Structure 1
Amino acid sequence: MTSEVEPMRPPQSRVAYVVERLKEDLASGLIQPGELIKQTVLAKRYGVSPTPVREALRVLEADGTITYQPHRGASVREMAPEAAVDLYRMRASAEGTATEMAVERMTPAGLNRIEAKHEELNRERAEGATSARLSQLNRELHFTIYAQSSPLVVEYLELLWTRFTPSSTIWTGEHAGELADDHEAIMDAIRDGDARRAGALMSEHILRASRIRAGDPTARAEGTHDQMDS
């Protein structure tokens, strides 16, 4: 497992709290595919007893995020390349729609938050931030946009992002430049209030990410269908 993180104060429902923290750690790459999940370590990290951790892992097992293997315990489910392509197609459709909805419902305050995240990503990329940091900022930018749609949409998209937890990032080298160019085009459409164009550009942006990952062996999701079905 990774280094200790100072526990946050859990809310009334400790199971819901642990589920949320686990999803955040999965999405950020703090917990990697195939990595053995130790309940005692998570309990200490999140500041709870092992019981809500165990229940939270059952929740994530039910939705396919983690898997249990005899004599080994829980681990993050690894995704086959073919399944990753399927998931990207689902994301492209859903995130295009979410972006369209976001532009339709955009507020001045919401646009300001999006602009701030966009500027932060560009600034840190220019300053030579690590690919892991750029990946994190990319996620923050995307979800700042989607937050303008609806909580239901955001919840659904968070589930899709959580299901895909690759051990590498495509925010490297020339790939980062291509993705940043996509962001500029999306931002122009958002500023213009062109919901349809913004949604279409976001869909293509997600599909570009899929093509990059499929064509770059260092950025592909690992695993096989046998591993997924185990």
Structure 2
Amino acid sequence: MAGSSTAPHFIASVLREAIYRGILPEGRPLPQAQLALRLGVSPIPLREALRLLETEGLVSFQGYRGARVTALSVEEAQELYEMVAALEANLLRIAFPRITLRIVGDAARVLDRMETERDCIGWRDLNQMFHNLLYEPADRPLTLDVVARLRQKTDRNIRIHLVSMRDESQRQHRGILAAVEAGDLPAALEALVSHLTYTSNDLQSYMRQEQGPRRRR
């Protein structure tokens, strides 16, 4: 069946969004029989979907205890953003001479859409689209794939700090795009790294607030 190969990816997308929204919180066991029943799917594509999420670092298998949602530490979030910043800066550096006015215009329109997007997952998708528009001219598909995987791990917590950072983040996005449009590579790189550092610090701050009560329980 044509749909049999896509079923695990569809199930994975449903579970990924549930993790991003906190419906399936960190550390929570994922009983496969119950999940299959709730989702109306058979156990085989469900297990394949969980394996896909395992490759993204969102799910882990623990022997006879089955699968559970992984936890992300503050230290891991910091390291992930350090890698993202290094890779994205290199992508922008390579792509810069090939970024056209049309790409700049497309990126500006994405930012306009982000202004009114209130859903955290919708905003996250537009944010990724904005950044990718600037990086795709680099023609580095392997690097883009690595960045996407790293961002999947950090974006799982977008819901806990988006409200606090979205206005400043949008201002920073506009600054990056203005430097790109002006043809100023050093300013664009500085704005990008500053933006990613700000986002990382904001996320770490909120993660500490969230994880603090857990340690005291």
TM-score bucket (shorter structure): 0.7 to 0.9
Is the alpha carbon distance of 1:44 and 1:69 closer, same or farther for their aligned partners in structure 2, counting shifts above 3 Å?
Answer: same
CA positional deviation for 1:109: 3.7
Contact 1:96 1:203 in 2 (8 A): yes
Contact 1:65 1:163 in 2 (8 A): yes
After superposition, the C-alpha distances for 1:145-171 in whole angstroms (9 at most, x for unaligned) are: 333333222211111011222263322
Contact 1:168 1:218 in 2 (8 A): no
What's the C-alpha RMSD, in Å, of the aligned pairs?
Answer: 3.8
Classify the secondary structure of the residue corresponding to 1:67: strand
Aligned to 1:145: 134
C-alpha distance in structure 1 between counterparts of 2:79 and 2:193, whole Å: 14
Classify the secondary structure of the residue corresponding to 1:170: helix
> Which residue of 152, 156, 159 corresponds with 1:168?
159
Q: What stretches of structure 1 of length at least 5 have no aligned partner?
A: 1-8, 225-230
TM-score, normalised by the number of residues in structure 2: 0.73
Aligned to 1:5: none
Matches within 5 A, 1:191-230: 191-216=181-206
Percent identical pairs in the alignment equals 22
Is the alpha carbon distance of 1:24 and 1:55 closer, same or farther for their aligned partners in structure 2, counting shifts above 3 Å?
Answer: closer
Q: What stretches of structure 2 of length at least 5 have no aligned partner?
A: none
Instruction: Give the number of the structure whose residues are more often helix, by fraction.
Output: 2
After superposition, the C-alpha distances for 1:59-100 in whole angstroms (9 at most, x for unaligned) are: 443564321235653222111111111111111111222222
Contact 2:161 2:202 in 1 (8 A): yes
Contact 1:213 1:219 in 2 (8 A): no
> Which residue of 57, 68, 72 corresponds with 2:50?
57
TM-score, normalised by the number of residues in structure 1: 0.70
| Greater relative CO (CA pairs within 8 A, separation 6+) | 1
Between the two proteins, the alignment pairs up a number of residues equal to 210
Is the alpha carbon distance of 1:50 and 1:196 closer, same or farther for their aligned partners in structure 2, counting shifts above 3 Å?
Answer: farther
Matches within 5 A, 1:29-178: 29=21, 32-37=25-30, 39=32, 41=35, 49-61=42-54, 64-69=57-62, 72-122=65-115, 124=116, 129=118, 133-150=122-139, 151-164=141-154, 165-166=156-157, 168-173=159-164, 175-178=165-168
